[in-house]
Structure 1
């Protein structure tokens, strides 16, 4: 057993592992720039193959329900980029690893993801023009970047989207943008390894919304998910952005009322093996692997491991 394999084996003996991916483009669209979290399929394969030697990969439902997650791992993908079925699914099929895809109904119906609008504005060098027009509208800390303050919970995501739409109306069209995401009219992955879950309707920062607005985001997307035929579904809810400031007590309560069984965070913490409860629902933390070598991934996971599970 190599030193790398021993490191993974030790980690698996101490904790579970919930992985979060977004883009899996072999070549990400240039218009989205460098800010998109993307892991190429070949890197994804190397990551999962190395981890699978010590971890048992299970569905997101089994992972969330497990009393002890030591030695278990699960893979989730947020935002519904079409590159996942087109370019990455063969990785999961080859390794026989379950995959949960968390979708936003608005993007499946043709709307452009507002965070991709932000990335386009940045890539085109139009940030200053946007700020000249709308900058005084935002609450922001000194030095806080355009990328960060547009998702700051002090600023209503609904209002942010209105400003992004208004700005981009006067800009060059974003060609082929709806092709980035799986569309409602496309054939979904009806496969034993794949399940679909809810990531809210528009991917707003839920804590920036009123309780009624949060309910619409959670409930409408849950009902939209139920309309998807012939695919497996999970009742686990993936919180948009998934940080401590991105949801509140109302989010947890409303998710439970909508019928969700657990909530996925994205705080970059490798939790210990014990179950962590927050209100009515289990709260599962996830880490986002980068497009790096396996050795660097393992080192990063070791650094992020929190034995307390919090």
Structure 2
């Protein structure tokens, strides 16, 4: 992000803090992982402390409240919890914590992710590139322009991977640059090509193709258990988790419509909530979401939600690995939320 972009973002966030506002939190995995370039993992202990903060402040509300005006206050006192993708640990680890604190949550599930027996491609890419030694040369014959890559690793590069955030930190080392280049190349491939690409990378890196992994998706039975729980509302996350802004309008509409239909069939009830994969959306995607009958949709723009926001592109804040005190400070000082409570 350039200095100008950072200044514009800071001014926009400051302006939002003066409006009636609320927070929508975006989680993915509730597990521990040392290599986590997108910071999508929050440990069970940290998640419990964060939910304790919401419970103590009596702040937790259902995401549906953000479709009207009930969730927006002068002190940012209302916060909703959401999860993306449909990982198994949402059921086995997160749900017992939500139950203990009586906190509702919306889980946005990938239609073709339910019952998936292998990792999502982004998890496989991380495992291939960010753990263990790698060969120096890579031939990557996928995408429109097959490419060769050469690694030039130096002493200390391994340490640079710890805590590295691919979304905020510059790619400095050879491996970081390779990770970003391959992620950008794979995200626009067709689903079957994505799996083929990461299988190629796992074989090149000498990693097992299908190891036990904590980042598993729910199967149909586990999905049904989530869908039946009184604290959980199921939403859609498209059929295959594509980058919608890289698809033509007809493909965008099909991914949104078929993803919703698949989740509705599995859940046995209407699905009226949606989140955009990777947070990417445009006018066409938002129009498709409205067209298929979605009431509320979420992006991943990291600002509090305010009155007047498009209810089909609500922003969300992504909590990372932090204890309850730091979580509270982040909500209050950075986003102007929970400013009327004490801890």
**What's the TM-score bracket when you normalise by the shorter of the two chains?**
0.7 to 0.9
The answer (yes or no) to whether the contact 1:265–1:286 under 8 Å persists in 2 is yes
Which runs of at least 4 in structure 1 moved beyond 4 Å after TM superposition? Answer: 124-138, 141-144, 149-152
Question: Secondary structure at the residue paired with 1:283?
Answer: coil
2:210 maps to 174
Which has the bigger relative contact order, CA under 8 A and spacing at least 6?
2
Aligned counterpart for 1:250 among listed residues 281, 284, 294: 284
Q: Does 1:267 align with 2:273?
A: no
Aligned length: 282
Q: Distance in 1 between matches of 2:232 and 2:221?
A: 18
1:188 maps to 225
Q: Distance in 1 between matches of 2:54 and 2:21?
A: 13
CA drift of 1:239 comes to 0.7
CA drift of 1:249 comes to 1.0
2:99 maps to 93
Q: Distance in 2 between matches of 1:257 and 1:100?
A: 21
CA drift of 1:210 comes to 1.4
Aligned counterpart for 1:241 among listed residues 256, 272, 278: 278
Deviates further, 128-137 or 219-228:
128-137
CA drift of 1:179 comes to 7.0
2:120 maps to 113
Q: Distance in 1 between matches of 2:46 and 2:62?
A: 21
Cα distance, 1:305–1:117 mapped onto 2, change above 3 Å: same
Structure-to-structure mapping, 1:204-219, within 5 angstroms? 204-219=242-257
CA drift of 1:113 comes to 1.4
Q: Does 1:34 align with 2:67?
A: no
1:145 maps to 177
Q: Distance in 2 between matches of 1:209 and 1:127?
A: 34
The answer (yes or no) to whether the contact 2:264–2:271 under 8 Å persists in 1 is no
Deviates further, 74-83 or 114-123:
114-123
Cα distance, 1:47–1:179 mapped onto 2, change above 3 Å: closer
The answer (yes or no) to whether the contact 1:151–1:205 under 8 Å persists in 2 is no
Question: Secondary structure at the residue paired with 1:291?
Answer: coil
CA drift of 1:62 comes to 2.1
2:157 maps to none
1:3 maps to none
Cα distance, 1:182–1:257 mapped onto 2, change above 3 Å: same
Deviations 1:44-90 (A, max 9, x none): 12112113333431211123333552222110011111011101111
Q: Distance in 1 between matches of 2:47 and 2:135?
A: 32
The answer (yes or no) to whether the contact 1:23–1:38 under 8 Å persists in 2 is yes
Question: Secondary structure at the residue paired with 2:319?
Answer: coil
Deviations 1:224-262 (A, max 9, x none): 0111246x76412101111xxx21111001111111112
Deviations 1:189-247 (A, max 9, x none): 211111110011121111011112212211111000111246x76412101111xxx21
Cα distance, 1:300–1:146 mapped onto 2, change above 3 Å: farther
Question: Secondary structure at the residue paired with 2:220?
Answer: coil
Aligned counterpart for 1:78 among listed residues 75, 78, 84: 84
